[in-house]
Amino acid sequence: MDLPRLIDTPRLHLRDMRPGDAEDVFASYGRDPAVLRYLQWAPHESADDSRRQIAYDIHRRLKRSAWVWGLTRQAPHAQAGRVFGQIELLPMSFPSEQAHHLRLGYLMAASHWGQGLMAEAGRAVLDAAFGVDQVWRVDALCDVANGASAAMLARIGMQREGCMRRALSHPNVSDQPRDAWVYALSRDEWLKRMPANPATTAARACADQSR
């Protein structure tokens, strides 16, 4: 499976994570307990922790065990090029080249909340995923107490399918596994919401790979 390394939206440029992003990651979200509340991460204590996380994300992309994009703003925004969040897709079966089911994950600096940026990124990543013919399902798990995340998943067209009991480990909330909502979008549903001429939709979302 070959997902794009670069994805552009009206306000965002999504790109692969790089070692030089460590300072931005640490400053914007890597150390923020509010951002990490519903994740498995412990807050980073230094940019070195963020650098190790980035190295892990790069390694996962190389192995194709995950595709991770850093969120940056488009020029001429004052913070263009600086990473303030990330979004990822994980294959839910292996080898990943044959996976038909992907899982969406995401986080974003609190300074950028409330602007619709994660929904914008999420829609573009869904389009990129379903632009691969073999992908038939993308889902996401959301802590039942995380209302903001649940609302975002609904806004990008994912449907709540049910509750998975004790499915998530969120050590920043509890030392016991947590219940999670399952949100999902199928290829059939994605095709129904496509414009009359869908052939170039994914291409518009995905930046030129040679850039």
What was the pLDDT predicted at 7?
98
Scan for tokens 């009991």, then name that residue: 165
Judged against a pLDDT cut of 90, whether residue 194 lies above it is answered with: no
Element (H, E) at 51: helix 47-63
pLDDT of residue 210: 36
How long is the chain?
211
Phi-psi label, residue 195: left if phi above 0, alpha if psi -120 to 50, beta otherwise: beta
What's the rounded Cα separation, in Å, for the pair 107 and 150?
Answer: 13
How confident is residue 203, by pLDDT bands cut at 50, 70 and 90?
very low
What is the pTM (predicted TM-score) of this model?
A: 0.90
Mean pLDDT (whole number) for 155-159: 98
Q: What is the mean pLDDT of residues 160-168?
A: 97
Q: What is the pLDDT of residues 50-70, one digit of tens each?
A: 999 999 999 999 999 999 999
Say what the pLDDT of residue 211 is. 38
CA distance 3 to 184: 19
Q: What is the DSSP string of 127-183?
A: HHHHTSTT--EEEEEEETT-HHHHHHHHHTT-EEEEEEEEEE--TTT-SS-EEEEEE
Query: In which band, very low, low, confident or very high, does the pLDDT at 197 lie, cut at 50, 70 and 90?
Result: very low
Evaluate whether 54 touches 19 at the Cβ level (below 8 Å). yes
For residues 17 and 58, the answer to whether their CB atoms sit within 8 Å is yes
The model's pLDDT over 96-144, given as tens digits with 9 standing for 90+, comes to 888 999 999 999 999 999 999 999 999 999 999 999 999 999 999 999 9
